[in-house]
């Protein structure tokens, strides 16, 4: 675990994401990590462990396969005990193969907006692990690959309610939930 001040953990995480999404430099991104670092994109089991796997993952699958209009809209951040936990909305147009998120799915050219959570653990001044969570069913609904009728799943409504808690709850339950 890291004993660095919370502000320094935030700075290190922001630098890491800048290298991924703006600079697009796989080697510099991997240099922000411990030697046994791992990434786990929980819904689809993609990522890697250690410098060799992480260079292959970031250099061939993640950074070059990110749609040009990708955006992260921060919602909340919690920092403490050697970790940063971010909640954010991740949006993109699926105009490129994204095997890190959608293995085997050809571009659909549809927009996607989903809430995500990143749990980032530090050791010293390096990132030791990243666990990234999202609802893959919501992604598939938005891409037209999963029909929501009859299933307890939603599409872009997830991101809308995530960003605006004033929107009505329990829509999938219909009127049955009302007192």
Is the pLDDT confidence value at 174 over 90? no
Mean per-residue pLDDT, 6-28: 96
Q: What is the mean pLDDT of residues 84-107?
A: 98
State the pTM of this model: 0.93
Taking alpha carbons only, the member of 29, 30, 11 closest to residue 20 is 29
Range with the lowest mean pLDDT among 65-74, 112-121, 170-179? 170-179
The answer to whether 78 and 117 are in contact (CB under 8 A) is: no
Q: Domains of the chain: which residue ranges?
A: 6-167
Contact (CB, 8 A) for 24 and 14: no
Mean pLDDT, to the nearest integer, of 39-60? 97
Q: How confident is the model at residue 179 (pLDDT cuts 50, 70, 90)?
A: confident
pLDDT band at 71 (very low <50, low <70, confident <90, very high): very high
CATH architecture, domain 6-167 = Roll (3.10)
Task: Give the strands of the sheet with 83-93, arranged side by side.
Answer: 46-49, 33-41, 126-134, 111-123, 83-93, 71-80
**What is the C-alpha separation between 170 and 65, in angstroms, rounded?**
35
């Amino acid at each position: 675990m890291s004993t660095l001040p919370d502000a320094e953990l935030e700075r290190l995480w922001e630098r890491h994401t800048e290298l991924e999404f703006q600079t697009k430099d796989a080697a510099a991104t991997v240099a922000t990590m411990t030697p046994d670092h791992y990434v786990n994109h929980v819904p689809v089991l993609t990522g890697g462990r250690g410098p060799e796997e992480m260079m292959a993952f970031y250099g061939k699958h993640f950074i070059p396969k990110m749609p040009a209009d990708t955006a992260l809209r921060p919602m909340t951040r919690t920092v403490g005990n050697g970790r940063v936990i971010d909640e954010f909305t991740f949006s993109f147009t699926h105009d490129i193969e994204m095997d890190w998120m959608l293995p085997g799915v050809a571009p659909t050219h549809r927009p996607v907006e989903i809430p995500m959570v990143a749990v980032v653990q530090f050791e010293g001044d390096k990132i030791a692990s990243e666990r990234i969570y999202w609802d893959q069913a919501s992604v598939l609904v938005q891409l037209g690959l999963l029909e929501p009728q009859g299933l307890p799943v939603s599409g872009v409504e997830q991101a809308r309610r995530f960003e605006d808690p004033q929107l009505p709850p329990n829509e999938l339950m219909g009127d049955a939930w009302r007192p």
